[in-house]
Structure 1
Amino acid sequence: MAKIEKELQSVILAMSSKEKDKLLLRLIAKDRVLLERLRFELLEESSTIEERREEIRKAIDHLYQTPVYSSGYLMMDIRSVNALITHHVKITKDKYGEVELTLRLLNDCFEKQLKWIERYSSKTDKLASYVAKRTDFVLNKLTKLHPDIQFEFEEIMNTLLQRVHEFAPSYYARDLQIRKKFEIEYIE
């Protein structure tokens, strides 16, 4: 991000409100994410967060209902749905949804497409690595949430950790030093 020099800053601040508003609207229109975030915060008043989560849940369900031809294709599809989750968080700042949706995405991979991630091989290597890294990511996100929220996800997180250590991602889980059991850390 470019820093505005003091002289230019003073000139901008001295502009009329009408000119500043016009300039601001032009700048906002160029940033799609900012535009969508403003729409979410100002127009939707954050009331559509559950609807947005539901759209991603549907994308996850669709992903695992579609026939998969290789672990590589599965990984590409998982990454594209993960991109939807990342975009959702950029717009809504929904930390709870990020954890919930990521856990669902990863656990469903084991439940519905196990044959592509069950045994480690050169063909499953990239998918195994990706799943281990995303597990580490979601585990770190979860530990930053309030203990009451952590409690909601404790069982599903432990299910994921067990699977990651049992199937193809186990090598990467050890390498990343992903713990085998999630326990809530209460802050006193």
Structure 2
Amino acid sequence: MALPESLKKAIIQMPVKEKDKLLIRLVGKDAVLVDKLYFELIEDSATIPERREEIITRIERVAGYNQDTPGWILMDMRSLSGDISYHVKVTKDKIGAIELNLHLLLSFMERHQEILHNYSSRSDTCALYIAKKAQTIINGLAKLDADYRTDYLKDTNRMLMLVHTLCSRMYARQLELPSELEF
């Protein structure tokens, strides 16, 4: 919501003590902003590796659950994907977004190949989700410097091989995902 110029000027002319109180009240109403400020000001942006490791641990734990349908797998992947998105929103960790999403897909696809192997109406939504997530990872990799891309080449090609062999293969062809990347 844009503020009128007259209100902006009035706020700027407020006494510092009043502005500080108002700022603290307003910041407290936005949980993402609170986490972002805590990360930048208190943690001094130095806890990215710990935050990544925490999410990787959650991915490993949830991917290790005994899943019995593609729907449950999809639900868990979406939940963890939300955690990854929140991490990126707070930390602006673009490399972490690629690394964590790649780890998410690989963990679930490798552990649940028997459930995700055949395409069916029950696996349709999950198959589409996997293919689109793979496309997002590839698009993110394309934006990185070549040095970073080579670090993820092996895992990305492993992911693409699985995307093209599991239930997501039809959507992988529709989205024109490569079966292998070369940088």
TM-score norm. by structure 2 comes to 0.97
Match of 1:41 in 2: 40
2:3 and 2:45 map into 1 onto residues whose CA distance is 32
Measured against aligned partners, the alpha-carbon deviations of 1:6-61 in whole angstroms (never above 9, x if no partner) come to: 11111111111111111111111011001001101110111211111111111111
Match of 1:137 in 2: 136
Pair 1:84 & 2:83 matched: yes
Unaligned runs of 5+ in 1: none
1:63 and 1:8 map into 2 onto residues whose CA distance is 49
Assess if the C-alpha contact under 8 Å between 2:127 and 2:171 holds in 1: yes
Match of 2:71 in 1: 72
1:3 and 1:46 map into 2 onto residues whose CA distance is 29
Unaligned runs of 5+ in 2: none
2:32 and 2:88 map into 1 onto residues whose CA distance is 11
TM-score norm. by structure 1 comes to 0.94
Matched residue count: 183
CA RMSD of aligned residues (A): 1.0
Where in structure 1 do 4 or more consecutive aligned residues deviate above 6 Å? none
Match of 1:6 in 2: 5
Match of 1:103 in 2: 102
1:158 and 1:66 map into 2 onto residues whose CA distance is 25
1:26 and 1:48 map into 2 onto residues whose CA distance is 26
Match of 1:158 in 2: 157
Measured against aligned partners, the alpha-carbon deviations of 1:139-178 in whole angstroms (never above 9, x if no partner) come to: 1111111111101001111111111112210111111121
